[in-house]
Structure 1
Amino acid sequence: MAASTAPVVDSRRDELVDLIQRFVESLAEVSERLPFHIDRQKFCSTRTLAALVIAIVFAWKLLRSPSNHQRRRRKWPGPLPAHANASSRTNMMVQSSEVCTSSGDLKVKDVVGEFFQPTKPTLSQSVRQKLGEGRKVTCRLLGVILEETSPEELQKHATVRSSVLEVLLEITKYCDLYLMERILDDESEERVLSALKDAGVFMSGGLMSDKVLFCSTENGRSSFVRQLESDWHIDSNPEVILHLARFINYELYISPNRPECTTSNGFTSTSLEQFFGVSS
């Protein structure tokens, strides 16, 4: 029994050693394609310890993978006929060796590629990366935070877009956020504030109701932005975006059609959440 299991253990050990060697070689290839220079002598002196730790984990994963089990269960070709010559036997052995070597190389390259594949940033990281050094943000409500797109609709109802809530709350953790909109009557203001409250916008503590500003004209909204000296302004009106271009460091134009923004400091997106990488 011990004699029968010994070759299996030796085979797995040899396969593990072979995978480690291939992994180290692949790491060396990856290092040559990096955008910064790595001293190969220093890399050669330190790569073995690092590669051994990493390679053992990935090699064990490869050895335990379903595809590897299937490969071990794969039946080898039956014995050659008696009349087969030595050349035929040699060719078959070479082909079998090439298939195994190619499979091993592909697995190692897949593991190295998976190891160096960049991870998707979290929403918090995306907000910080996109807004950069901006610490004060002003944002229009209609067409951005609310489902409604005109002041006339606010005279009947106000609905907060559920898909934008997570982004909105994350911005309030990082920036001083002010929301603003043009309305036609006092009842519209009450509807908007009630909708924001019911959606939980004011519960995080980052945004309070007195940071929601209302005016009666589009110029009034532009005046709010300039007085607040905002770093970023988000709007769905292209005329406001153009008017504020020379006063604001950065602008985000929200439009379902996503036309190109004509300002040098402007960005365009179909929605606020799409700009920050959130799938709608």
Structure 2
Amino acid sequence: MAEPSSSLSASKDDLIQLIKRLGTYLSGNISNLFSISVQKLDPRSVGAIAGLAVAIIFTYRLMRSPAAPPRRQPKLQAPRTRNSALSTLSNQTLMPSGVNSSSDDLRAQNVVDELFQPVKPTLGQTVRQKLSEGRKVTCRVLGVILEESSPEELKKQATVKSSVLDVLLEISKFCDLYLMETVIDDESEKNVLLALENAGIFTSGGLVKDKVLFCSTENGRTSFVRQLEPDWHIDTNPEIVSQLARFIKYQLHVSPVRPERTAANVFSSPSLEHFFGCV
């Protein structure tokens, strides 16, 4: 890094020395030059004038010319100690060249694999991607969020599946989520709301109790969905999924057995969490 400054300093020193020599030369000859008349010029005087002119021109060009770019000095490698040389020699002697080359290639490949390893998306990113940026979602409770699969079971208890909680909370953060279910009596409604509350769904996400809807028939759930006009509806009943295919942009049919695809906008999955890659 010090090469440019040292080169520039050397050029300045040469220029100063040249100017000093020119000054000495001029001091000794300037009086003689001006004392000579034009009519009495002899070869010696002409030579002095020519030398002065050449010196002036050379000095002017030297001052105008750009400094030459500094030459880079080759980097000096630190001398290898005797111990390191012996160690390298012993390693080369003990390990065949093919094995050494293979291990180097393997280490290089491992470094490349680590650098270009794809970054796994977060659950929130996966939810938004899977839902195609949909902003409103309606979802059945039985068989999707609860362990129970029939309205009769809700009369006794309601149990939220632990595996679905993270997905449900991410959906409620990103989307306007409505839960709905067909129930037989008021006691079933209380059991469902209590189970959701105990699971922390109403406190951790954007879901509120007013967005949990209950009806007494399956047709009532279909009517709820059509009135809300969601971007996605999630259900386990194939008849409801088939009826809503013409009206809802996307649907997810949750079924343990993969059904035949009834429409291009209907997807199927064994569970809600499986659809979002949580299983």
The yes-or-no answer on 1:7 pairing with 2:85 is: yes
Pairwise CA RMSD of aligned residues?
Answer: 2.2
- Runs of 4+ residues deviating >6 angstroms: none
Measured against aligned partners, the alpha-carbon deviations of 1:27-46 in whole angstroms (never above 9, x if no partner) come to: xxxxxxxxxxxxxxxxxxxx
Amino acid at match of 1:131: L
| CA distance in 1: counterparts of 2:252 and 2:134, whole angstroms | 13
Amino acid at match of 1:7: A
The residue that corresponds to 2:277 in the other structure is 277
Q: How many residues align?
A: 199
Residues 140 and 98 of structure 1: CA distance in aligned 2, closer, same or farther (over 3 Å): same
Unaligned runs of 5+ in 2: 1-79
Measured against aligned partners, the alpha-carbon deviations of 1:106-162 in whole angstroms (never above 9, x if no partner) come to: 321232123212122111111111112200000000000000000011111111111
| CA distance in 2: counterparts of 1:150 and 1:229, whole angstroms | 25
Task: Give matches, 1:150-229, under 5 Å.
Answer: 150-204=150-204, 206-229=206-229
| CA distance in 2: counterparts of 1:183 and 1:130, whole angstroms | 30
Preserved CA contact (<8 Å) 1:253 1:261:
no
Residues 8 and 142 of structure 1: CA distance in aligned 2, closer, same or farther (over 3 Å): farther
With structure 1 as the length reference, what TM-score do the two structures score? 0.66
Preserved CA contact (<8 Å) 1:182 1:214:
yes
Measured against aligned partners, the alpha-carbon deviations of 1:144-185 in whole angstroms (never above 9, x if no partner) come to: 000000001111111111111111111111000000000111
With structure 2 as the length reference, what TM-score do the two structures score? 0.66
| CA distance in 2: counterparts of 1:8 and 1:273, whole angstroms | 61
Of all paired residues, the percent bearing the same amino acid is 65
Amino acid at match of 1:265: N
Measured against aligned partners, the alpha-carbon deviations of 1:52-79 in whole angstroms (never above 9, x if no partner) come to: xxxxxxxxxxxxxxxxxxxx9x8954xx
| CA distance in 1: counterparts of 2:86 and 2:174, whole angstroms | 58
User: Secondary structure at 2:201's aligned position in 1?
Assistant: coil
User: Secondary structure at 2:111's aligned position in 1?
Assistant: helix
| CA distance in 1: counterparts of 2:253 and 2:277, whole angstroms | 16
The residue that corresponds to 2:111 in the other structure is 111
Amino acid at match of 2:261: C
Q: CA deviation at 1:190?
A: 0.9
Preserved CA contact (<8 Å) 2:137 2:232:
yes
Task: Give matches, 1:11-160, under 5 Å.
Answer: 77=94, 96-160=96-160
| CA distance in 2: counterparts of 1:168 and 1:232, whole angstroms | 14
Preserved CA contact (<8 Å) 2:261 2:267:
yes
Unaligned runs of 5+ in 1: 12-71, 78-92
**Highest Rg: 1 or 2?**
2
Measured against aligned partners, the alpha-carbon deviations of 1:230-271 in whole angstroms (never above 9, x if no partner) come to: 000001111111111011111111112233432210111111
Preserved CA contact (<8 Å) 1:160 1:195:
yes
Greater CA deviation, 98-107 or 153-162? 98-107
| CA distance in 2: counterparts of 1:5 and 1:122, whole angstroms | 51
| CA distance in 2: counterparts of 1:226 and 1:8, whole angstroms | 82
| CA distance in 2: counterparts of 1:193 and 1:8, whole angstroms | 77
Residues 8 and 169 of structure 1: CA distance in aligned 2, closer, same or farther (over 3 Å): farther
| CA distance in 2: counterparts of 1:169 and 1:109, whole angstroms | 40
